[in-house]
């Protein structure tokens, strides 16, 4: 049997979305890369002489919070001028059209909010939010740059980026809400994620197991490509608008 063309797959998925009651979307670095967000893998992972993965840890922050904040201020400066792309905007339109919509993202760049997404769960936090290491206060702060050692307005404690660092657990309420949405969904889109970072990597398989139609949109095959019902190769910014406008 001949492999379906991309156009046929998009048409099939568009038909299913038209009947969907609860769409869950999982997004990864691929959708943000189309807006110019570095992935921080390979050469993108170097800042000065440091590897990004070595600075995004609680141990690095404890040892040298000034250095870590300099790194995150640099990231803020990179991201501040970037804008959502047609992939982000297409998801906003799907959210408006469908009875129930949940967006789960691994991205910390905040582009989904800027685009207008509302019902969203951020697995890894948000670069534009800060959290007090003393009292736990959380708030959005888009100042660029922040003071090198920013202080909490409530108690004067040291602020940290409100992101999940390597070696830290995901926030249980966010993770539990993600699983609950997946189990209630009837269609799930897995967009621009490499399928290598757990627990997000296996969320599409969970959705399939609980009865959802699962479709992957990605430039390259992933470890889970063959497990999904539909796999469409390409950019989210090209494909998602076709699902909306058809």
Distance CA 173, CA 154 (A): 24
What is the arrangement of strands in the sheet containing 159-163, beginning at the earlier edge strand?
A: 138-140, 125-132, 159-163
Residue 22 a catalytic site member: no
Using an 8 Å Cβ cutoff, are 135 and 155 in contact?
yes
CB atoms near residue 65 (< 10 Å): 17
Q: Could you check whether the bond before residue 72 is cis, i.e. omega within 30 degrees of 0? A: no
Choose, from 22, 88, 112, 124, the residue flagged as catalytic: 124
CB atoms near residue 154 (< 10 Å): 12
Q: Which residues are catalytic?
A: 124
């Amino acid at each position: 049997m001949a492999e379906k063309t991309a156009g046929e797959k998009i048409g099939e998925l568009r038909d299913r979305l038209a009947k969907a009651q609860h769409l869950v979307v999982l997004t990864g670095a691929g959708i943000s890369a189309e807006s110019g967000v570095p992935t921080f893998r390979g050469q993108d992972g170097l800042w000065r002489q440091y590897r990004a993965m070595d600075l995004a840890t609680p141990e690095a922050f404890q040892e040298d919070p000034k250095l870590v904040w300099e790194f995150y201020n640099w990231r803020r400066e990179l991201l501040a001028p970037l804008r959502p792309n047609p992939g982000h905007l297409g998801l906003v339109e799907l959210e408006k059209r469908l009875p129930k919509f949940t967006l789960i993202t691994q991205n910390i760049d905040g582009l989904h909010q800027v685009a207008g997404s509302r019902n969203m769960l951020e697995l890894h936090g948000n670069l534009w939010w800060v959290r007090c290491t003393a009292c736990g206060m959380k708030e959005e702060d888009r100042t660029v740059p922040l003071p090198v050692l920013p202080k909490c307005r409530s108690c004067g404690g040291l602020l940290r980026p409100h992101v999940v660092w390597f070696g830290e657990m995901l926030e249980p309420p966010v993770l539990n809400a993600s699983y609950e949405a997946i189990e209630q969904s009837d269609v799930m889109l897995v967009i621009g994620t490499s399928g290598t970072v757990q627990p997000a990597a296996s969320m599409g398989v969970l959705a399939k197991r609980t009865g959802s139609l699962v479709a992957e949109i990605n430039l390259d095959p992933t470890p889970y490509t063959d497990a999904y019902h539909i796999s469409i190769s390409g950019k989210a910014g090209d494909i998602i608008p076709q699902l909306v406008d058809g």
